[in-house]
Amino acid sequence: MKVETNIPELIGKDVQRVDVQDKATGTAIFTDDVQFGRNLLYARIKRSPHPHALIKSIDTSKAEKLPGVKAVATGADFPKRIGLYLKDKHIFARDRVRYVGEPVAGVAAVSEEVAESALDLIDVEYEALPAIFHPHEAIKPDAILIHPDLGEYEVANFIFPKADTNISNHFKVRKGDPEKVWDACAAVVNRKYYIPHIQHVPLETHVAVAKVDRAGKVTLWSSSQSPFAQRDLIAKALGMSPGNIRVIANYVGGGFGCKAGLTMEALPIALALKAKGHPVKLRLTREEEFYTNFVRQALAIELKMGCDKDGNILALENTMYWDGGASTEYGVNITRAGGYSCTGPYDIPHVKADSYCVYTNNTIGGPYRGFGMSELHTGIEQCVDELAEAIGMDKVEFRLLNAVQDGDILATGMKMHPTGIKECIEKVAHAVEWGKPSEPCAPNKRRGKGIAAMWKAPAMPPNPGSSAIIKLNEDGTILLGVGGQEIGQGAFTVAAQIAAATLGVPYEPIRVIGPVDTDYSPYEWQTVASRLTWSMGNAVKEAALDTRRQIFEIVSQAWGEEAKDLEIIDGVVISKASEREIPLKDFAVYGIPKNNFEGWIGGPIYGRGKFMPNYVTGLDKDTGQGERAVVHYTTGAQAFEIEVDLDSGKIEIIHAVSAFDVGRAINPDLVRAQMEGGIVQGISSTIFEQMIFKDGQMQNPNFVDYRIATTMDLPKRIESIIVEVPQDDGPWGARGVGEHPMVPTIAAIANAIYDAVGIRMEGPPFTAEKIFTHLKMKDI
């Protein structure tokens, strides 16, 4: 495919977001804002207090008798296993519980209070089992099996569980032979890192409302990144047809991955099936949000990396143990992504990587902005820094020398496409005046600069589809339907820009149809993987081209002209041959009369488009080799200047710079907004965030003890730089960038801390306390 070079005016323009008038006035409807009237029931969930135990019995009889209780459900009612890539969980635990917080029973009642009191009346008898909280423990040969039936689970054909172990996926990469080249290396570093669990912390907690009508049709209103995938997963879990399930997804108050797939949404459905006709609402408390749904799984990573005396990286051995938690239905694919991207954005001839997804009795790991890449790059990018230092080479120069380039054969055998990574590295280095020492503001402070590069590919099955529809209204306004979700990133706005630019109409008359509704919206796999601008964008473009074809057909017939002479400018069809013109509104629905009242031409116009990548290949189970592992990689870099306070260990961020190669920025200010929000979320995960567990129970499930960045924690200066090396199959070359801005952050700050005070830590968060302790250990 060739990148289009003819760029319409609306592409690259900072138009106003389609959703902000409603969001600024409090009229935007989020799921919890939908009104259901007096028939609404409230659900509460009885959860496991044990990290690992057998369920001996559940007695719900007392709860059922409590006045106001309308339905009680347990695992006995729902035998089918569910999961996206590996079917390893149930709606409610059945014979055993595997993490603290796992749903065991649910109650729907006339109020939350009644539902809550009913939970106390449910008696569950457990027999505690030994529990495992670290992947290193879980892989020991004598470890207790968390899923003894793993070998029987249904699994996607690119995931490789090992029966009779706690390993639910082992992804291998074998390229060249690292063993042969270690001796030839001028420097080799061996390092271990541990990146702990964090949570997404969307401001809006998960909420879902389910209703089942008398005929059995299910309607679900949910705060979801994935209404279509949810519909499919619910259908499989309940043995229903997707055609009998409708998911309506209003605006999402922050997702970052945790509202992808199917998690708590199945619970109100289970209850609604037993209280037909009643809408049943389940809204997670902040505490439940922290540890009963998806979290970012922890990673224990071991790296060995070597380079020659000129700085060429020769070999990498990368062993990753992902703490998948009690269910890895989604996490197995994070392990796979960690595997095929194991080198970071570098060209390395000899690679051996083993990426293990490991069951533990921790809370469930799931997709989190970056899908494993923040964790992976935290290790890779610190090793790269150390290697450069070991051979006495500048760290920026070292990265430029080794960065992946067009035509490189990657660790999986895929050929790299054109990428702007070098430009990104150069630009961020330049912005922080790399190489120029800066003076701390006080004698007890030290300044340092750090850099990290990154890459990330959309991680998904080989065939995730997108589609779009366009309808013309009587007045020439245009309805655009997409199944991708607006989760704050600006997806609806970008879709509207692409539609308008392709059609040849102004941006203002485009109306994006919302909320996304699986009965009325066109299909979209999921709003994940930074894939919408690219994939949904292609579908929107095709729908707009289809609409144009229909418009030209009508007008060319009416005017007796050739379609190739027609153009649409500012919503008016113009003939280059005859110079005739007609605004869309004059014929959009009713058509054009023929001469002398001899009838009519045209009719309602309805364009459609779709996109699905068809070139991603499978990878060999034993070597990870295949022709094309992924659709593409978005690359980028960040650089930081920081100041460490030697008396307290506190770090202050003086300057934070991002540069990402987005192929083509459809709306540059929205791209910068993603970079800014991402880098601050990254900083928050670097300095503050960690879920603290004791025997599997989270100790800090609130905003006082689990601190996220506030207005007082901002860098003094944030800079965001857009690089554009077009993608051959993106709309005008566009690639996604939603996740990438927090991927290199931990590593870049770690490298800056090292530059300032010479310490390296096993992993984030780099709290003042931790830094202070390390400073003391080194007598600084």
Partner 1 sequence: MELIKIQVTVNGSKEILDVPPNLSLLNMLRENLALTGTKSGCEAGECGACTVLLEGEPVNSCMVLAVECSGLSVETIEGLSEKEAMKKLQNAFIDLNAIQCGFCTPGMLISAFALLKRNPDSSDEEIRMALLGNLCRCTGYERIIDAVKKAARN
Binding site for partner 1 (CB under 8 A): 14, 16-17, 19-30, 32-33, 35, 200-205, 251-256, 285-286, 487-490, 669-670, 673, 676-681, 702-704, 708-712, 714, 718
Residue 292 CB, nearest approach to partner 1 (Å):
15
CA 721 from centre of chain: 22
Per CB under 6 A, does 203 bind ligand FES?
yes
Distances 188 to 304, 342, 363, 375, 394 between C-alpha atoms, Å: 7, 17, 36, 21, 17
| 488 binds ligand FES, rule: CB under 6 A | yes
Of 286 and 778, the one with the shorter C-beta distance to partner 1 is 286
Read off φ and ψ for residue 583, nearest 5 degrees.
-70, 150
- Which residue in 234, 262, 452, 492 sits closest to 367, CA to CA? 262
Select 296 or 664, whichever has its Cβ closest to ligand FES: 296
CA distance linking residue 475 with residue 585, whole number of Å: 5
Number of residues that bind ligand FES (CB under 6 A): 3
Half-sphere exposure of 671 (CA within 13 A, CB side): 25
State whether the Cα torsion 387-763-375-431 is positive or negative: negative
CA atoms within 13 A on the CB side of 383: 29
Residue 712 partner contact from ligand FES, partner 1, none using kind-dependent CB cut-offs of 5 to 8 Å: partner 1
3-state SS, 337-383, equals HHHHCCCCCECCCEEEEEEEEEECCCCCECCCCCCCHHHHHHHHHHH
Which CB atom, from 94 or from 206, has the smaller least distance to partner 1?
A: 206
Q: Which amino acid is at 302?
A: E
Q: Which of 8, 49, 242, 254 binds ligand FES (CB under 6 A)?
A: 254
- Six token digits for residue 224: 């979801």
Sites for ligand FES among residues 229-248 (CB under 6 A): none
CB of 689 to partner 1, least distance (A): 11
307's enclosing H/E stretch is strand 298-307
Shortest CB 551 distance to ligand FES, Å: 38
Rg over alpha carbons for the chain, rounded to the nearest Å, is: 27
Which H or E run contains 22? helix 20-25
Nearer to ligand FES, 1 or 203 (CB): 203
For residues 154 to 193, the per-residue mask of contacts with ligand FES, x marking binding by CB under 6 A and - elsewhere, is ----------------------------------------
C-alpha torsion sign, points 155, 157, 160, 163:
positive
Side chain identity, residue 156: A
CB of 510 to partner 1, least distance (A): 17
Centroid of chain to Cα 740: 10
Least CB distance from residue 690 to ligand FES, whole Å? 21
Between 200 and 632, whose beta carbon lies closer to partner 1?
Answer: 200
Closest CB 239 distance from ligand FES, rounded Å: 37
Phi, psi of 400, deg, nearest 5:
-65, -40
Tokens of 530: 């930074």
User: Considering beta carbons, is residue 159 or 737 the nearer one to partner 1?
Assistant: 737
Core vs surface per residue 84-100: b (16+ CB within 10 A) or e? bbbbbbbbbbbebbbbb
Q: Which does 497 bind (CB under 5 to 8 A by kind): partner 1, ligand FES, none?
A: none
Q: Write a three-state SS string for 617-643.
A: CCCCCCCCCCCCCCCCCEEEEEEEEEE
How far apart are the C-alpha atoms of 350 and 340, rounded to whole Å? 14
Q: What angle do CA 578, 581, 586 make, to 5 degrees?
A: 145
Least separation, in Å, of the C-beta of 676 and partner 1? 4
**Closest residue to ligand FES, based on beta-carbon distance:** 203
Helix (H) or strand (E) holding 601: strand 600-601
Shortest Å, Cβ 488 to ligand FES: 5
**Smallest distance from the beta carbon of 674 to ligand FES, in angstroms?**
12
CB of 700 to ligand FES, least distance (A): 17
Q: Which is nearer to partner 1, 18 or 500 (CB)?
A: 18
Report H helices in 394-472. Answer: 395-402, 421-431
21 binds, among ligand FES, partner 1, none (CB under 5 to 8 A by kind): partner 1
From partner 1, ligand FES, none, interface partner of 226 (C-beta below 5 to 8 A by class): none
Q: Which residue, 242 or 668, is less far from partner 1 as judged by CB?
A: 668
User: Of the two residues 2 and 38, which places its CB atom closer to partner 1 in the complex?
Assistant: 38
256 binds, among partner 1, ligand FES, none (CB under 5 to 8 A by kind): partner 1
As measured in angstroms, the least distance from the Cβ of 703 to ligand FES is 8
Q: Which is nearer to ligand FES, 32 or 394 (CB)?
A: 32
Provide, rounded to whole angstroms, the least separation between the CB of residue 31 and ligand FES.
15
Q: Which does 421 bind (CB under 5 to 8 A by kind): partner 1, ligand FES, none?
A: none
Cβ-based nearer residue to partner 1, 467 or 745: 745
CB closer to partner 1 out of 172 and 672: 672
Our measurement of the distance from residue 249's CA atom to the centroid of its chain's CA atoms, rounded to an integer in Å, reads 17
Query: CA-to-CA distance for 51 and 697, rounded, in angstroms?
Result: 8
Amino acid at 84: L
Q: Give me the residue label for tokens 């996490």.
A: 331
* Interacting partner of 702 out of ligand FES, partner 1, none (Cβ under 5 to 8 A depending on kind): partner 1
Any contact of residue 24 with ligand FES (CB under 6 A)? Answer: no
- Which parts of this chain interact with ligand FES (CB under 6 A)? 203, 254, 488
